[in-house]
Amino acid sequence: MTFIIVTILLLGYIAIATEHITRINKAATAMFLGVVGWILYMVEGSSYVDLFYHTEYLSFLNGAPSTAAAVKTFIANNIFLRHIAEISQIVLFLLATMAIVDVLNANGCFAFIYECCRTKNSRKLIWYLAGASFIISANLDNLTTTVMMLAIMRKIVIETRFRMIYGSVIVLAANCGGCFTVIGDINSLVLWTKGAVTPTDFSLSLMLPALIAMIIPTYLISRTLPEHINIDSLRTVYRGDDSFLSRWQRILMLFIGIGGLWFIPTFHNITKLPPFVGALCVLAVFWVVNEFCNSSLVNASIIGGRTVPRSLQYDNLQTILYFIGLALAAGAIYETGAFRYAAFWLDSHIHNIYIVSGILGAASGILDNVALVLSSISMYDILSPEQVAASVDPAYASLFQQNGAYWQLIAFCGGVGGCLLPIGSIAGYALMKNEHVSIWWYFRMMTGKVLLGWIVGLAVFFLMNAYVL
């Protein structure tokens, strides 16, 4: 049964990677994988329970005879719900942060980016867009950043060819920026909620490698651009949902929204409550400020036309459903013991996290980086200092303790490696959808440059880990 579950998961990964061919939404595929994975796990549930949860199951029975119904009840209440609890933390965090971003965008709080990026100098423009995407994605999620920056870019750039180039750089910068903070990417957020990393150490370890991985390809691409391009000076200013707030009101909301997101790790450290509680708290405060700033629109006819941006709303919902499905599928695989066997094989035959993470990064360009990183996270447990000291190879085991190099590497390689091809990340799919970028064009234009930036960033991480941190 384990072989069947793993095979179905691999076929599902392939289906997700070929969404542009099959036209089957990857969120639907992921949800199907999650449900089927747990149904098949239930079929062989008694064997898995006896193998991994024998003592807990006997305690659950409390002297009662073991039956098929008892096994299913134990799995549903003691195993499945544990995975649901972990997934729910991520989902609630995403819902809160995505709501904050949507309100900021709807109120025109990102119009300042548009104002700063309007230039006919093509090389300045590419650095403006890359820098803004990198910084914003470190504070927001990379999909929302990509969709928003593509909308801003389309307001400036006229020619389709240049929009494809600038859009590709936006995706790269958004993925690089998102991978070095715990709130900038789903993969990093999962690592944080599981306790594998802490915000400060994670960012300090990956900021420079992520920055280099973005700068090198952007520089190489900028050298291929003409000095000047035509911009559309007649297009209306990017103001989100046609905001009527004053400039100072938008600055206030931007400060509270972004500042609140950065306060979440501090909230967690002070209260020890899960990160999603801090995100909900920030959303509540931000919501009050939004209502206050828009109080003049209440009962006015204009309020009826103020809605959350539909593009962000739809893409965010897909992202959440996609993550739920993949997380459920990964949980089913984990409970079969397949990930434990994979980790044992890697430790025995490769025994090098840089080679393992390199394979992960390369695969992320073909398959989806979220799916691969979630699987990589599930392969290893977070080791305590006592477990590290008692291991046969303490130096190697230390790589898997909290803030160990393994957790940082898979976040970096998954984020940057997902930019090798547009099908490697959700942000890349947004680019293909919005700018009609083909895989072959992206391969010729971007893949080699991204690969060089990734390798140099990986080398910098190695040197920092060996001699600095």
Q: What residue segments make up the domains of the chain, in order of their start?
A: 94-310
- CB burial of 200-237 (b: ≥16 within 10 Å; e: otherwise) equals eebbebbbbbbbbbbbbbbeebbeebeeebebeeeeee
d(CA 170, CA 127): 10
Residues 168-224 pLDDT 10s: 999 999 999 988 888 888 888 888 888 888 888 999 999 999 999 999 999 999 888
Paired residues of 157 in beta bridges? 231
Average of per-residue pLDDT across 118-144: 83
- Give the residue among 418, 451, 450, 437 at the shortest CA–CA distance from 17: 418
d(CA 200, CA 216): 25
Question: Rounded to two decimals, what is the model's pTM?
Answer: 0.81
Residue 163 predicted with pLDDT over 90: no
Mean pLDDT of the chain: 82
Report yes or no: 110 and 240 within 8 Å, Cβ to Cβ: yes
Report yes or no: 296 and 243 within 8 Å, Cβ to Cβ: no
All residues at 6 or more sequence positions from 200 whose CB lies less than 8 Å from its CB, including other chains: 265
Residues 262-280 pLDDT 10s: 888 888 888 888 888 888 8
Among 56-65, 149-158, 239-248, 427-436, name the most confident range: 56-65
Average of per-residue pLDDT across 145-174: 85
Which tokens go with 343? 């980790």
d(CA 152, CA 156): 7
| 3-class SS of residue 401 | strand
Neighbours of 448 (CB within 10 A): 13
> Per-residue confidence at 341, pLDDT binned at 50, 70, 90?
confident
The DSSP code sequence of 47-76 is HHHHHHSHHHHHHHHTTPPP-HHHHHHHII
Which tokens go with 205? 């370890």
- pLDDT confidence of residue 309: 46
- Give the residue among 425, 337, 303 at the shortest CA–CA distance from 3: 337
Cβ neighbourhood burial of 300 (10 Å; 0-12, 13-18, 19+) = exposed
Give pairs for 23-28: CB < 8 Å, separation 24+: 25/318, 26/318, 26/322, 26/368, 26/429, 27/318, 27/319, 27/321, 27/322, 27/325
The DSSP code sequence of 346-381 is HHHHT--HHHHHHHHHHHHTTS-HHHHHHHHHHHS-
Q: Which residue has the tokens 């099908």?
A: 423
Paired residues of 383 in beta bridges? 401
The DSSP code sequence of 276-324 is HHHHHHHHHHHHHHHHHHTGGGTTSGGGGG----HHHHHHHHHHHHHHH
| Cα atoms found within 13 Å of the Cα of residue 156, Cβ hemisphere only | 27
All residues at 6 or more sequence positions from 96 whose CB lies less than 8 Å from its CB, including other chains: 276, 279, 280, 282, 283
Cβ neighbourhood burial of 326 (10 Å; 0-12, 13-18, 19+) = buried
Residues 390-436 pLDDT 10s: 888 888 888 888 888 899 999 898 888 888 888 888 788 878 877 88
Which tokens go with 175? 């993925």
d(CA 361, CA 373): 9
| 3-class SS of residue 157 | strand
Longest CA span, the chain = 80
More confident residue, 399 or 312: 399
Which tokens go with 339? 């990930």
